[in-house]
Amino acid sequence: MEQDTLYQRQVIDRARAPAHAGSLDGATHTGEGTNPMCGDRVRVGLSLTKGGTVTAVRHETRGCAICIASADMMAGLAEGRSALELGALSRQFGEMLRTGEGAEQVGELGVFAPLHQHRSRIRCATLPWTALVEALDGSKDR
């Protein structure tokens, strides 16, 4: 069977046993992303310091392997970063998914570079980021 570079062991294992799944007790901010095309949904809860640094992230994801793995890797990468840094990472990630280039700039999210050849699946990988950005945007209002 042709397995496709997209479904690397790293992605499948992360989807099967996510390290950051669940709800975050005492989350200061929450966000949600839904994909009406397929019914997938990601909820993100995070804790933000007064200085704007993310200290913890948990996600509750109902979705495909791409979506769960992307959410979990995102949660791991977000801890210790500022909202500003995460906004930049989100844009770099989106650009990589569009072009297939720049994998080295986005840490382990680089495994999703082959998605640029599956346009209909890009939304699966960006859905967690929609939820994260919503959570972080909410933080600016407070």
Partner 1 sequence: MDLSPAALADPIDALRHLRADFPILNEAVHGKPLVFLDSAASAQKPIQVIDAMSRTMRTQYANVHRGLHWMSERTTDACEAVRDQVAGLIGAPSREEIVFTRNSTEAINLVAHSFGSLIRPGQAVVISEMEHHANLVPWQMLRDRAGIELRVAPITDAGELELEALERLLSDGKVALVAVTHMSNVLGTVTPARRIADMAHAAGARVLFDGSQMVVHRRVDVREIGADFYVFTGHKLYGPTGIGVLWGRRELLEAMPPFLGGGDMISTVRFEGSTWANVPHKFEAGTPAIIETIGLGAAISYIESIGFDAIAAHEAALTDHALRRLAEVPGLRVIGAPADRGGVISFTMDDVHPHDIATLLDRNGIAIRAGHHCAEPLMRRLGVSATARASFGLYTTREEVDTLAATLEQIRSLFV
Tell me which residue of 76, 71, 64, 47 sits closest to 131, measured CA to CA. 71
- In whole angstroms, how close is the CB of 142 to partner 1 at the nearest point? 32
Q: Which helix (H) or strand (E) holds 78?
A: helix 65-78
For residue 99, which amino acid is it? T
- In whole angstroms, how close is the CB of 127 to partner 1 at the nearest point? 11
Under rule CB under 8 A, residue 2 binds partner 1? yes
Under rule CB under 8 A, residue 12 binds partner 1? yes
The mark string for 19-58 relative to partner 1 (x by CB under 8 A, - otherwise) is ------------------xxxx------------------
Under rule CB under 8 A, residue 101 binds partner 1? no
Beta bridge partners of 47: 56
- Share in percent of the chain as helix, strand, coil (round to 5): 55, 20, 25
Mark the segment that binds partner 1 (CB under 8 A) among 21-29, 65-73, 87-95, 96-104.
Answer: 65-73
Binding positions for partner 1, 67-96, rule CB under 8 A = 67
Residues 6+ apart with CB under 8 A from 14: 68, 69, 72, 73
Question: Which residues bind to partner 1, rule: CB under 8 A?
Answer: 1-4, 6-7, 12, 16, 37-40, 62-67, 118, 121, 124
